[in-house]
């Protein structure tokens, strides 16, 4: 009787262990990343426009997926260093990349990376304007004041980096206004450019508005104009002029407003793209993300799939030729068959996608 009881207990213990192991194996098999935690490499410093745009969305995607996604920052060459790092990793779905839509649009013409939107699938949570900013105590109170000051001498002008959205936008704006390029001072992020402005290291700056909106609301900085198609109502008390209202001929500038996508190599297994799309669409509908966008003066973009490809193709046409026409690019967009905006055609451009 005693021996029978011991045998029965052993059977129960072994059976329980087998069921536990089977459960563990099934749990691992349902994970999107069973081997280790994936990594999103942000191409700019912590606290900058790209970093602050993608982290909240990634956190909600983690919640949906029930898995941890690590986020690291890797600065260099306006995010080209981070892009190349991810491209050098295996196409196994464990490595992602985040930057602005502007920097990736300039990689090839700037000679920083041999990569373009055709190499990636992307998810764009937000779109937002850039702002021309000065210190709150600056004598420059209007756009015309800024133009006059820039024409008077070589001014120290703060930007996050060369070839990024605010840099290209200000070059386009200055070109229309008939102002030569100032002495650019790069800060590594839009936030740092604003901090340099507050510290008096630069006289004027151009930053993504989302990364400096708190400084503007706190009265430390003054936003002279934003790259929106109409007056920008931040809240009940704060209203900022559109660049189109203060600069004749700038009607197309708002079309180049930036997004901050999360990228994955286009040649990864399709299940990663499908599951991340599912998580992304859920994340951007959550109240925390909607409220975050409102607080940061951003709009929900929600681009993915073909809409994301189309947007990036159009963005590349605008940014690449703006950089080249301003004398800032090392190579002509024509070398890469990048059309001018006037010749851009999505049916032609989407044929460039190899997958």
CB 286 within 8 A of CB 300: no
pLDDT in tens, the chain (355 residues): 545 544 444 444 445 544 444 444 334 448 999 999 999 999 999 988 899 999 999 999 999 999 999 999 999 998 999 999 999 999 999 999 999 999 999 999 999 999 999 999 999 999 999 999 999 999 999 999 999 999 999 999 999 988 788 998 998 899 899 999 999 999 988 999 999 999 999 999 999 998 899 999 999 999 999 999 899 888 888 899 999 999 999 988 888 889 999 999 999 999 999 999 999 999 999 999 999 998 888 889 999 999 999 999 999 998 999 889 888 899 999 999 999 888 999 999 999 997 5
Q: Name the CATH topology of 39-128+257-352.
A: D-Maltodextrin-Binding Protein; domain 2 (3.40.190)
> CA–CA separation, 39 vs 85, rounded Å?
12
Provide Rg for the chain, Cα atoms: 24
Within 153-221, residue ranges assigned H as helices are 165-177, 190-199, 213-217
Residues of the chain with CATH 3.40.190.150: 39-128+257-352
Overall residue count recorded for the chain in this entry: 355
Nearest to 350 by CA among 86, 118, 143: 118
Q: For helices 305-325 and 101-110, what crossing angle results, to 10°?
A: 50
Specify the domain boundaries for CATH 3.40.190.10 within the chain. 132-256
- CA gap 212, 41 in Å, rounded: 23
5 pairs with which residues across the strands?
A: none
DSSP one-letter code for 301 = E
> How remote is the C-alpha of 10 from its chain's centroid?
58
Beta-strand runs (E) in the chain? 39-42, 70-73, 95-98, 120-128, 130-135, 156-159, 183-186, 204-208, 221-226, 232-233, 239-240, 258-259, 262-265, 299-304
Q: Which residues contact 7 (CB under 8 A, 6 or more apart)?
A: none
**Contact assessment for residue 55 and residue 71, using Cβ atoms and an 8 Å cutoff:** yes
Classify the C-alpha dihedral 113-82-76-313 as positive or negative: positive
Alpha-carbon distance 249 to 122, whole Å? 32
> What would the pLDDT profile of 119-149 be if each residue is shown by its tens digit?
999 999 999 999 999 999 999 999 999 999 9
Among the four given CATH numbers 3.30.565.10, 3.40.47.10, 3.40.190.10, 3.30.70.20, the one describing domain 132-256? 3.40.190.10
């Amino acid at each position: 009787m005693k021996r029978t009881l011991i045998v029965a207990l052993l059977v129960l213990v072994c059976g329980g262990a087998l069921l536990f192991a089977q459960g563990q194996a099934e749990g691992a098999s349902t994970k999107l990343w069973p081997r280790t935690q994936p990594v999103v490499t942000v191409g700019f410093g912590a606290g900058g426009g790209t970093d602050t745009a993608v982290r909240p969305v990634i956190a909600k995607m983690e919640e949906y997926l029930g898995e941890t996604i690590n986020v690291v920052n890797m600065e260099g060459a306006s995010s080209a260093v981070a892009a190349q790092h991810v491209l050098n990793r295996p196409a196994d779905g464990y490595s992602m990349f985040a930057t602005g839509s502007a920097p990736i649009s300039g990689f090839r013409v700037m000679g920083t990376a041999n990569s373009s939107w055709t190499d990636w699938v992307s998810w764009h949570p937000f779109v937002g304007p850039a702002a021309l900013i000065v210190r709150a105590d600056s004598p420059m109170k209007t756009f015309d004041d800024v133009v006059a000051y820039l024409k008077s001498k070589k001014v120290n002008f703060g930007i996050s980096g060369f070839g990024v959205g605010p840099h290209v936008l200000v070059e386009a704006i200055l070109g229309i206004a008939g102002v030569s390029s100032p002495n650019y001072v790069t800060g590594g992020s839009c936030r740092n450019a604003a901090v340099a402005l507050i510290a008096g290291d630069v006289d004027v700056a151009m930053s993504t508005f989302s990364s400096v909106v708190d400084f503007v609301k706190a009265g430390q900085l003054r936003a002279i104009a934003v790259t929106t198609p109409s007056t920008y109502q931040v809240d009940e008390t704060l209203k900022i002029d559109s660049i189109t209202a203060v600069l004749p001929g700038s009607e197309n500038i708002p079309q180049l407003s930036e997004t901050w996508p999360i990228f994955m190599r286009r040649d990864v297994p399709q299940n990663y793209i499908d599951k991340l799309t599912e998580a992304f669409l859920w994340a951007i509908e959550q109240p925390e993300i909607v409220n975050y966008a409102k607080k940061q003066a951003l709009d929900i973009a929600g681009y993915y799939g073909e809409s994301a490809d189309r947007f990036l193709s159009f963005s590349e046409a605008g940014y690449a030729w703006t950089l080249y026409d301003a004398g800032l690019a090392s190579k002509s967009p024509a070398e890469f068959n990048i059309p001018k905006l006037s010749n851009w055609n999505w049916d032609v451009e989407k044929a460039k996608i190899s997958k």
